[in-house]
Amino acid sequence: MIKEKSQKPAEGSAPETHSQEFLDALRHSCAHVMAQAVQELFPGTKISIGPAIENGFYYDFDSPHRFTEEDFPKIEKRMQEIAQGNHPFKGEEISFEEAKKFWEERGEKYKVEILEGLQGQKITHYHHDSYTDLCRGGHLESTKLLRHFKLLSVAGAYWRGDEKNAMLQRIYGTAWATKEDLEKHLKMLEEAKARDHRKLGTELRLFSISDKIGPGLPLWLPKGATIRSLIERYIVDLERSLGYQHVYSPALARVELYKQSGHWDHFKENMYPAMQFENKEELVLRPMNCPHHIMIYKNDLHSYRDLPLRIAELGTMYRYERSGVLSGLSRVRAMTLNDAHIFCLPDQIRNEATGVLRLIERVYKDFGFKDYWFRLSLRDPADKIKYVDNPAMWDKAERLLKEALSEVGVSFKEAAGEAAYYGPKIDVQLHDALGHSETLSTLQLDFYLPERFDLEYVNKDGARERPVMIHRGIVSTMERMTAFLIEHYAGNFPLWLSPIQVKILTLTNAEEGPARTLEEHLLAAGLRVSLDLRAEKISAKIRDAQLEKIPYMIILGPKDVAAKTLSVRLRDGRQAHGVSEEKLIQELIRENISKTLSPTWLEPK
């Protein structure tokens, strides 16, 4: 049992820092107290599991009551009462038979099921007040230390994470050692909510998910599609300038192709099942593009002089992600990856890998991403099913990736069990609005697929040798990148990525003609423009443009028309009057091309 060392720091001392062990115990204890409160308030509720998680805890319930956030104040109130009761947490070892009788008598079928998996092991119960749980321990000394907690949300969760099992109700909460920590966390959540790409994506009409189409299969609305095509054009042009060759290939293939590649054995749980046809042909939706690019490589016999060959595609692929992990655009089932496979000689690996790392840094600079880190994703050597079993191959590939990282001079963290089945990866991790890290870019070194597909090139002496493959994605899938951009900019996209860059707002009906002429000029300059000619008050028009987060508003009134000048307003409230059309267009073009993140020409000199 864990005691808090000193509850109040001595005066003048540094603020108390709470160990992770203490916080885990606090959160785990909070889950038990919540379960007690829930079972008292909602009779018939069965308990299953309730662990501590990052920043909080949850408990999965099976209940005749359907929980909503409206139940939270009542549950929290009862939790506070229990906590104040100063009940000690007591552990007790118990025999399998006794425990079984205990849980069976209460009709707690999930506990009975968990217990059955523990046969032959040490079994413990933890008690506080009137509540008992089947639990390994890791609790506070007493409920009294629980003061700063809050219930956050409720979500469906399959028993044991398996879709074939019953759907339980998971209540999430957060718990902290101090009031300040709790408040800080709640404030962070509040801010994160405002940035959440699912919320902003709906409000700004960027994308939508239709239940009729299905979960994880997003629809790109016109404005979101504009952002997507800007990303696509940006990366394709950049890649072309670096010697990548873009191709198109179908998102379907014969199942044999994916059997030969090893996806069918190692990646099957993320693949849609094969479609069978009367003529016995079986086709699958591709979960990756690599085998298709390999067939493009195999379409010709290559000399060592042709290598490296960089085959790129905005490749659409389909993955059957579990419903519980789907999230807006950031984790989907239908996606288009900024993919490329580099086929190279073994002694070109270093150069190609460092080239990819430098490209990633260049692209992040253009998109304004600063807060990212490199992860060297390695296999789990014990897992011979998920990863190809060839230790020498893995060791070599890992060494080469480390060398590339050190040549570019970036620090990295190693993570076991995060590799692709065919080889280790360098993943670039960024934080979403909630602070969770997700992979955006990836670089993967692969000696396996060239072997499986018997890839060859002709060397200097006319003999056949095996090339190496580097799989890489720079801007990730269009889906995940767009989700990141929305959260990163909280919807306030820089000019070059804004679906609408300029909105012209007329003061009276008389400005319609000049507004249309101005629109034509801006369109001709390559800018994305919209008009607001409604007979609304100008304040309402400004408010609407502000809600759409449009970078530039041009407010056109009779005075400006007469003076042949423009009044400009930025979404951050800055304004400029008496600007000539020529100057404005010049500045907008400059800002658009340079990908500047914040316009400076309006600042007072």
125 touches which of Zn ion, ligand TSB, none (CB within 5 to 8 A by kind)?
none
**CB of 436 within 8 A of CB of 412?**
no
Q: Which region holds residue 337: left if phi is over 0, alpha if psi is between -120 and 50, else beta?
A: beta
- Of residues 89 and 369, the one with the C-beta less far from ligand TSB: 369
Angle between helix axes 391-408 and 349-367 (nearest 10 degrees) is 50
Q: Which is nearer to ligand TSB, 348 or 444 (CB)?
A: 444
DSSP 73-138: HHHHHHHHHHHHT-PBPEEEE--HHHHHHHHHHTT-HHHHHHHHTTTTS--EEEEETTEEEE----
- Name the minimum Å distance from CB 428 to ligand TSB: 8
Nearest 5 degrees, angle CA 173-CA 179-CA 185? 50
Distance set, CA 503 to CA 218, 221, 493, 594 (Å) = 28, 19, 15, 21
Q: How far apart are CA 147 and CA 33, in angstroms?
A: 11
Nearer to ligand TSB, 393 or 505 (CB): 393
Residue 439 contact, options ligand TSB, Zn ion, none, Cβ 5-8 Å cut-off depending on partner type: ligand TSB
176 versus 422: smaller Cβ distance to ligand TSB = 422
Task: Give residues 546-605 in contact with ligand TSB (rule: CB under 6 A).
Answer: none
Assess contact for 192 and 182: CB atoms under 8 A: no
Rounded least distance, CB 471 to Zn ion, Å? 3
**Cβ–Cβ under 8 Å, residues 476 and 283:** no
Counted residue by residue, the chain has a size of: 605
Instruction: Select from ligand TSB, Zn ion, none the partner in contact with residue 87, using the beta carbon and a kind-dependent cut-off of 5 to 8 Å.
Output: none
Taking CB within 5 to 8 Å according to partner kind, which of Zn ion, ligand TSB, none is near residue 472? ligand TSB
Residue number closest to ligand TSB, CB atom: 471
3-state secondary structure of 357: helix
Select the residue interacting with ligand TSB from 63, 80, 226, 439 (CB under 6 A): 439
Pairing status of strand 372-378 against strand 412-416: parallel
Residue 392 C-beta: closest distance to ligand TSB, Å: 22
* Separation between Cα atoms, residue 171 and residue 151, nearest integer Å: 7
CB of 480 to ligand TSB, least distance (A): 4
- Per-residue binder mask for ligand TSB (CB under 6 A), 267-306, x = binder: ---------------------x-x----------------
User: With respect to Zn ion, which residue has the nearer C-beta, 158 or 264?
Assistant: 264
Contact 296, 249 (CB under 8 A): yes
| Region binding ligand TSB by CB under 6 A among candidate stretches 24-32, 59-67, 392-400, 434-442 | 434-442
Among Zn ion, ligand TSB, none, what binds residue 335 when CB lies within 5 to 8 Å by partner kind?
A: ligand TSB
Instruction: Output the smallest distance, CB 318 to ligand TSB, in A.
Output: 9
146/469 with CB nearer ligand TSB: 469
331 contacts which partner out of ligand TSB, Zn ion, none, CB within 5 to 8 A by kind? ligand TSB
CB of 407 to ligand TSB, least distance (A): 21
**Smallest separation (angstroms) from ligand TSB to the CB of 498:** 23
Instruction: Write out the H or E segment, with its range, that includes residue 415.
Output: strand 412-416
Query: Which lies closer to Zn ion via its Cβ, residue 331 or residue 471?
Result: 471
Torsions phi, psi for 154 (to 5 deg): -135, 140
What is the Cα Rg of the chain in Å?
Answer: 29
337 binds, among ligand TSB, Zn ion, none (CB under 5 to 8 A by kind): ligand TSB
Between 170 and 375, CB nearer to ligand TSB:
375
The residue behind tokens 């005066």 is 11
Q: Which residues bind Zn ion (CB under 5 A)?
A: 290, 471
The encoded tokens of residue 182 equal: 């709790």
> Is 440 an interacting residue with respect to ligand TSB (CB under 6 A)?
yes
- CA 219, distance to chain mean position in Å, is 18
The values of phi and psi at residue 512, to 5°, are -55, -45
CB of 302: closest distance to ligand TSB in angstroms? 19
Query: Which of residues 321, 361, 366, 451 is near ligand TSB by CB under 6 A?
Result: 321
332 binds, among ligand TSB, Zn ion, none (CB under 5 to 8 A by kind): ligand TSB
Beta bridge partners of 246: 312
Q: SS3 breakdown of the chain: % helix, strand, coil, rounded to 5?
A: 40, 25, 35
Look at residue 148 and give the partner it binds from Zn ion, ligand TSB, none, a contact being a CB closer than 5 to 8 Å depending on partner kind: none
319, interface contact from Zn ion, ligand TSB, none, CB < 5-8 Å by kind: ligand TSB
What string marks each residue from 466 to 505 as x (binds ligand TSB by CB under 6 A) or -?
-----xxx--xx-xx-------------------------
CB 434 within 8 A of CB 459: no
Query: Regarding beta strands 131-134 and 124-128, do their DSSP bridges make them parallel or antiparallel, or are they unpaired?
Result: antiparallel
Q: Which stretch binds ligand TSB (CB under 6 A): 165-173, 255-263, 440-448, 520-528?
A: 440-448
In angstroms, give the least distance from the CB of 301 to ligand TSB: 23
Count of residues in contact with ligand TSB, rule CB under 6 A: 21
Paired residues of 92 in beta bridges: 125
Q: Report what 568 binds from Zn ion, ligand TSB, none; CB cut-off 5-8 Å by kind.
A: none
Rounded to the nearest whole angstrom, what is the least distance from the CB of residue 475 to Zn ion in the complex? 15
Closest CA to 258 of 227, 280, 282: 282
Kindly provide the residue ranges of all beta strands, DSSP E only, lying in 417-490, ordered along the sequence.
Answer: 425-431, 437-446, 457-458, 464-465, 468-477
Nearer to ligand TSB by Cβ, of 28 and 471: the residue is 471
* Region label for 564, one of left (φ > 0), alpha (ψ between -120 and 50) or beta (otherwise): left
Helix axes 349-367, 222-241, angle to 10 degrees: 140
Nearest approach, Cβ of 473 to Zn ion (angstroms)? Answer: 8
Tokens of 390: 């060839």
Give least dist CB 325 to ligand TSB, A: 8
Interatomic CA distance for residues 364 and 356, integer angstroms: 12
Sequence letter at residue 141: E
Please state, in angstroms and rounded to a whole number, the distance separating the CA atoms of residues 391 and 132. Answer: 47
Binding mask 324-343 for ligand TSB (x = CB under 6 A): -------xx--x-x-x-x--
The tokens for 434 are 């909630």
Q: Using CB under 6 A as the criterion, which residues of the chain lie in contact with ligand TSB when the complex forms?
A: 288, 290, 319, 321, 331-332, 335, 337, 339, 341, 439-440, 442, 444, 471-473, 476-477, 479-480
